[in-house]
Amino acid sequence: FTRAHLDPFYERAHQVCQIGPYTYKAEDWQDQRAKPLAFKSDRVTTSISQYAPRYPFSEEYRQEIERTSNITTFLYANVIEIVTDETTQTVTHLRVASSPDRQFVLRAKIFILATGGLENARLLLASHQQQSAGLGNQNDLVGRFFMDRPILSCTLIPYSHQLLEETALYDIYRTKSIPVMARVHLTQALMRHEHLLNNGAQLFPRPLAKQREATVALRSLVSAIGDRKLPENLFQQLRLALRGSDYIIAAGFWAALRQLPPLRRGSWSYLPYEKSRFSQFEIFYQLEQTPDPNNRVILSTERDYFGQNKIEIHWRLNEIDIQNAIRIQEIWAEEFDKAGLGELQFARQREDWKFEKPAMHHHIGTTRMHNDPKQGVVDANCKVHGISNLFIGGSSVFPTSGYANPTLTIIALALRLADHIKTRMN
């Protein structure tokens, strides 16, 4: 199905997440202080990510579930096997354990597997009582096409310090009462024309390398003094701090300690005079991976607390992924320069790339969707091929990964699946 088919479910997902209107165009979120960068061509553009508050999921919906009479929640209940009838076409029950020696059975008419992009595949593979290869795995597809989002970093040296005053929208910035963050990415037209994978870049201002090292060393020393102990590498930390003493003195001792806002919280655009101490941008960009059947999740011989097989992950970037990353950086470098914004410095050789570890932990594709059972594990309604009453929810059904955070699409597909099951039951 198309994006247009999902649009109504995305709008409903916005309500579930308690975020703003269903629009991601930068111009719909700009204000006088925060505007998108003015690129000179139609190859690069800016779009917006919205951030949801945590309490609806951690508090509000939990309390609602506790109050609802037609929902029973079992805590500390670990599903260890999905069991079918002799035909293997209908799930009859789940084997559940709260400890290795305490098990029970859950029966239902319909089962929805929604345990994450890794565990969904592991449970299907581990449920091999009736099918030796695991449930839904008659075509050896369960666990294959595993994708994550690798994060590469490079450096943007501004041609003018004014750029640091013009990038507030690329921080986690509150506008229209919603926290948003702008990202730079290639346009759909260019990606189709050059057959490129999706991508998105985040901008974070940074001091020079020696200044950053001095700040980190200073933090370490202050923390050690606060704990009334000296670090083992005291002289090395002092040397690094002294190398950047001009920066620390100019920025102010305590202000320097705040120079590196955590990526998760942002807030650098709200800093007062300290912002003038930044000299460059570190650019983190998320890359879409190709769905490669050799990237996969399999069962390990190692066992967990319940005696179940753990997983073993086989994952790598293939040549298409690598060549895409190189080309994307080349285009960004050209466009940042053409717009008079700055010089993008990046490594052209794969062995010199700066990967941020770990990756995004967006586990995608291990039970991919396709109407042909020879190409996917679930159909368009998220039902496992060949099993009448087993459905899967989550990012494991995504056939491709894109670059954006998967949560909203997971919720949109969950709403769509809920509608389908309600219709079926009625």
310-346 pLDDT per residue, tens:
999 999 999 999 999 999 999 999 999 999 999 999 8
182-236 pLDDT per residue, tens:
999 999 999 999 999 999 999 988 876 665 666 666 666 666 655 556 556 555 6
Cβ-contact 368, 141 below 8 angstroms: yes
291-307 pLDDT per residue, tens:
999 999 999 999 999 99
pLDDT of 119 over the 60 cut: yes
Q: What is the mean pLDDT of the chain?
A: 87
Cβ-contact 110, 82 below 8 angstroms: no
pLDDT of 72 over the 50 cut: yes
For the whole model, what pTM was predicted?
0.86
pLDDT of 242 over the 70 cut: no
Count the neighbouring beta carbons within 10 Å of the beta carbon of residue 347: 14
146-161 pLDDT per residue, tens:
999 888 889 999 999 8
Token pair listed for 165: 């005053």
Cβ-contact 377, 368 below 8 angstroms: yes
Q: How far apart are CA 302 and CA 127, in angstroms?
A: 16
| Three-state SS at 263 | coil
Q: What is the pLDDT of residue 313?
A: 96
Most confident of 49-53, 200-204, 385-389: 385-389
Token pair listed for 260: 């590196």
Question: Could you say which architecture CATH assigns to the domain 3-149+288-425?
Answer: 3-Layer(bba) Sandwich (3.50)
Q: How many residues does the chain have?
A: 426
Q: Of 364 and 161, which is predicted with more confidence?
A: 364
Q: How far apart are CA 169 and CA 182, in angstroms?
A: 6
Q: What is the pLDDT of residue 331?
A: 95
Token pair listed for 137: 């795995």
Angle made by CA atoms 214, 219, 225, in degrees to the nearest 5: 125
Least confident window among 21-35, 77-91, 142-156, 234-248: 234-248
Chain region(s) in the chain for CATH 3.50.50.60: 3-149+288-425
Q: What is the pLDDT of residue 391?
A: 99
Q: What is the pLDDT of residue 237?
A: 53
